[in-house]
Structure 1
Amino acid sequence: MVRKLQISGSFSSKIILAFLFVILLPTLFTSVSFYWESNSVLKKNVRESTVQITKQTAESLSFILNVGVDTSDFISNNLQIQQAVLHPKNVPAYEENSDDQYIDTLLNNFVFSNSFVKIVYVLKENGSGWSSGAFSNNKMKKIRLSDQEWVKETKRRDGELVWQPIQYDHFSGLVLPVGRVLKDFDTMRNIGLVQVDLDGRSVFKTIGQLKLGKTGKFFVVDSEGKIMIDSNLEMVNKRVDNSELYKHIVGNDAMEFEYEVNGVPYYGVKEPLSNGWMIVGTVPVHEISGQLNSLKSWILFSCAVFSMLAICIGLFIAGWVTKPVKQLTRSMMLVQKGDLKVRTTVQSSDEIGFLSKQFNKMVHEIGHLMRQVKNEQSEKHHAELRAVIHRVHPHFLYNTLSTLRWLIDSNQNDRASSVLTALNHLLEANMAKNGNMITVSEELDIIKKYLVILELRYEKTFDLKLDVEPGLEKIVIPRMLLQPVVENAIFHGIVPTNQDGRISIRVHSCNGDLEFHVYDNGMGIDEERLKQLNEPEAAIAAGEIGIGLRHIYDTLRLYYAGNWEWSVESKPGQGTAIHIVLKQLAKSVS
């Protein structure tokens, strides 16, 4: 499918995107709107339900706690119990038995009449006392009450209720204790202790009936964030370990809150109890909104199905619409590669058929124009070449005729005759029927004839050394490519030294390139002039280069476009070397 999309090109992609947009946009908008609305309603309903359940559970727990409070209040305010606790030890046995019987009956009535009360203790300062159910003073005396933390706390509170966390009692099992000191109302001194142990299993049952998702739970904390009731007894009497949850419980009045545990978002709710404690419920957020996961999956599935449907419809229509367009595009690419004979065969009466006809007509006209432009450029090119040749020829003849005039004025008729003979041979070589192109060997032969004229003129010897790699002497090059170089070497390099000179021409190939190296032992070139010669285009624009070297530059530019190099190396007093490279010329010949 991806390959087909790539072949279809931009137009097909736009059609497919259009179908995706038309089909998916309403679907996505409706689905997302439905999802968010459902999400909002569901979360709202779940949270309202959770808060309501928490309030009901808080009321149930508060009722159980109030039973303990009422029982403790009744016992601590009972005058007969106070008298029994205050009874001296030397009282008659029948009176002591009467008090014991009354208190035992009263305490047992509390337990039997209320399922939430597990056991009730009334204890004296010496550790003896009374209790509902089976009670043994001997066992109780083994426990040092003064060492018990809850006893210390009740005495510190001086009559206030002291709630302890849920725990296992030595005599009655799992209980939730609440205690206070028993006071003498006449003197307000402490005379004993009252402790009511509420049934811990009833408390757990009340909390256990609540469900928050799969792993959520309820627990009870005091005002300082210490856990007082938890299904995991190992957590009881410990502070809430999650700092974020602790802050929400202790330092935040909001009944609902959210926090994180190891990167997992949790939802929390809390409700105060009648004794100052607080019931707290926590659950991972994803569990209370789990119903939304199936809805989200269904939305994603439906979007994927509609996407595939849109792509298939788009591919079908794109293929049907773009088939003639692709044919026209292929023809255009062939034209781009230079094939002007290609023609399209789209036969339709719509805009694409009209475009095909206009394309064929355009290609025909482009072919005609290109042939016309090619002919005009060819004529212009040859005209430029003729202008270059005609420009250097008068320069060459001027120098030679100047030499003849000087010889005639000096009455050196024999030498003048020799110059004319050499000029005749030179003109004969230049007027050959090969046109503007000659072989390397022919160019070097012309240079030899020209040196004869120059030696006669200056009465000096110019030694010419040739080093031509075998096979390169037959390579065709433009006429008078090297002769101006030799002429400049003599006029500007050797003659000013007023001595005989030496010129070396080396022709060789390197990596398929044809290279010419022309050396002279003349006076050399200064640095500023050398920089000008190595930048011929700028030097020509500034009029700082002579006719001979400009002829070479124009010849290289017109014949070889960018496939050439030219460099000049020289130091004052150490001669000059000119390097010309014709790229890939030797390889094409070989």
Structure 2
Amino acid sequence: MKFLRYIRFKSLQFILTITITLITTFAMLFVGITLFRTFSESMERNAAKNNQQIISQVALNLESYIGNVVRVANTLNDKITSNPSLPNESLQNLMNITLSSRKDIVSIALFTVEGELIMSEPQLPLKNHIDITEQQWFSKAASYPYLNHFSTPHVQNLFDGPDNWVVSLSRGVTFELEEKKVFGVLVVDMNFSAIEAVCNTVSLGERGYVYIIDDNENYIYHPQQQLINVGLKKEYNRDVLIYSSGNFIYDTDGELRSVTVNTSYYTYWKLVGVSFMDEIISARRNIVHYIRWSIIFGIIFFLIIGIFVSAKISKPIRELERSMRLVEKGNFDIHINVTGEEEVVKLSNTFNKMVTRIRELMDQIVLEQEAKRKSEFEALQSQINPHFLYNTLDSIVWMAENEKQEDVVTMVTALAKLFRISISKGKNIITVEQEIEHARNYLIIQKIRYKNKFDYEIHVQEEALRYKTLKLILQPVIENSIYHGIEYMVDKGLIKISAEIVHNKLLFTVSDNGLGMPPEVLESLLSKESKSNKGSGVGVKNVHERIQLSFGKEYGLQIESEQEVGTIVKLLLPLIDDSI
């Protein structure tokens, strides 16, 4: 027990092995669960998307077919209304050509509103004892003229000859009969097998299917129509009738089904695709099985790796420990020479050099203080106000939630460019063009955030673009103009930025029509006592000090301000050629 207790709490190798194994186990469990959830959600999304694409394609084929029949009916209607008197040979020829060229059309007929047959194709007599006026397709066309009406599938037994399952397209028409204007009904019977063929080609998994219903929950097509008729199968169409298009999942007797709905433009029929979720669940089980065994083999593999790595790491450390104990006993003449990993070798070399390095470090303190001061100023230029970043990200989230995609793209693009120029591969000097671009992107973001509370103008002398400047010197000045000059204005603000060469020097100018500053604030703005309550954290004063630290006291900022008029800030720098 004492040996086990020692191993558990004292052995570095044991601790490293257990730590690596536990971390690996938790990491693999986390990755496995995450992958399972991701794959499951992805499978459901892909299945729903695939169903929607299939149903959309079927709906497109159905719309194309029905649309062609509607155009045939419209052509016949135009011919009927334009003919001086019916019946006539011209219309009969058109009916004959249409029926001959369209195998999916069974018959075409024109009746008076009293049910008297005027013309038909094929030219067959009506069956005896048939009251046309009681047919559903006839009564709808007579009651609601000049609209296309689509019937449910039925046996069309108007004429002598074989009976066919059809869907009737009917509409009220006005025509001339015996030199009188009369109202009648045009009917075009579509072969139901054409609609059936469109739906039969669909495959939604192994058990999925497609059916069609109308607004009154009458079935236009169902692959299991006979089971529906005898009550052995039932579809839950209540939710289907609510949707014009979309996808939802419902539970039927403990069986989950995914339903996709699409509505026909011409007929307002609901095209419904049904797929079964147990097919997706079966795929999930395979994923779980694969992930489970991957985790088990992964834990065993990393346990072996952990033992090997911990032994390799701990061996040179134990050797270093024995050498350090000799030093602890007062043997300072010992030279530690430990081989092993790079870190362990460096540790032993560092110990050997520690005493001699103490005096050298003392001499370096003075030089490092000066270098530290300069590095602090260099660090200031790369800081970005966290509040600005947080507010910008909050604005992006708000716009995304409100579906303002264009503003989101604009702001994210500007923010990306802002950071790219801010980083600029660690360079302290960038081109004037890059600095102006950085300022422009910052203004784009702030303008969107402040909901166009201000406008801005940028004017740059073409010759000035090739010169270089300290980076991030315009943003703090612009930030100061927004927060202290324009934010609390009633009217819309205007910020102007320019860059030009004046007297062989580079001059940036930032002006605004904001509230301005009182003289006492203006006098202390660049002094050592001034502090920035808002802004990037760099501040106008720091920009001034950075320029003077880099180029001398003759350069820096000049500020002019008048209350209720505005503020002008001039940044003067030497000309640094692009070749430098």
Fold match by TM threshold 0.5: no
Q: What TM bracket, shorter-length normalisation?
A: 0.3 to 0.5
* TM value normalised by structure 1: 0.42
Of structures 1 and 2, the larger Rg is shown by: 1
* TM value normalised by structure 2: 0.42
